Amino acid sequence: MRPLPSSTAGIATATYGSAETAAAPRTVELTSVAAQTAAIDELIALAHRRIRVFDQDLSQTGWNLPARIDRLGAFLRGARGRRFDVIVHDTHYLESACPRLLRLLRGYSSAMTIYRTGTEAKLATDSLLIVDDRHHLRRFHFQQRRATMGIDQPEQTQSLATRFDEIWATGEPGINATVLGL
């Protein structure tokens, strides 16, 4: 259901018809990596079905922080059918500096995938976080600090979800949940 906007003493509030949507619709400009890191945590807290991430290598916004891993683990434990899909250009950072995220992958390999972009998507320079096809964070270029977060913005999020799907379609296995060897 769409929220029903109302106003009290100049403060915008929203009434929701379901517990699934818990935040007032808004778009926020973010101008620092710290603001993006906080926004990612806010978006993860809103997730009910699916989290999709595209990034250069996940090195800049706290993807291996203990609190973030706890939030992602709680999300994945929450209900059957939940998905956490990641696609990056380069997996080296994940393999060398993200033991918590890799442990999460091992524990939830049926609900989590980490891909590496294929040749066709190597020129993509933005970063995306798509949550439940309703909420998003888009960093316009991985070398810049400017980003936009949309909460309960399904129309805006749809075009970014389509972009993510195009990038995902080029993907190849990046990191496996198990290490096979002799």
> DSSP string of 142-162?
TTS--EEEEES-HHHHHHHHH
Q: What is the pTM of this model?
A: 0.84
Question: Does residue 111 sit in helix, strand or coil?
Answer: coil
pLDDT tens figures, 120-178: 999 999 999 999 999 999 999 888 889 999 999 999 999 999 999 999 999 998 888 76
Query: Which pLDDT does position 91 carry in this prediction?
Result: 95
Q: Which residue has the higher pLDDT, 21 or 90?
A: 90
Q: In this structure, what CATH number is given to the domain that contains residue 99? A: 3.30.870.10
Q: How do beta strands 50-55 and 4-8 pair?
A: unpaired
Q: Flag whether 19 is in a domain.
A: no
Q: Flag whether 113 is in a domain.
A: yes
Q: Flag whether 2 is in a domain.
A: no
Write phi, then psi, for 90 (nearest 5 degrees).
Answer: -135, 125
Read off the pLDDT of each residue in 7-31 and give the average, rounded to a whole number: 58
Total domain count, the chain: 1
Q: Flag whether 128 is in a domain.
A: yes
Query: Which pLDDT does position 128 carry in this prediction?
Result: 97
- Spatial distance between the Cα atoms of 152 and 135, rounded to a whole number of angstroms: 5
Q: In the predicted model, is pLDDT for residue 180 greater than 60?
A: no
Q: Flag whether 16 is in a domain.
A: no
Beta bridge partners of 131: 51, 135
pLDDT tens figures, 38-94: 999 999 999 999 999 999 999 999 999 999 999 999 999 999 999 999 999 999 999
Q: Flag whether 31 is in a domain.
A: yes
Query: Which pLDDT does position 178 carry in this prediction?
Result: 67
DSSP designation for 124:
-
| Range(s) of the domain holding residue 32 | 26-175
Q: Flag whether 181 is in a domain.
A: no
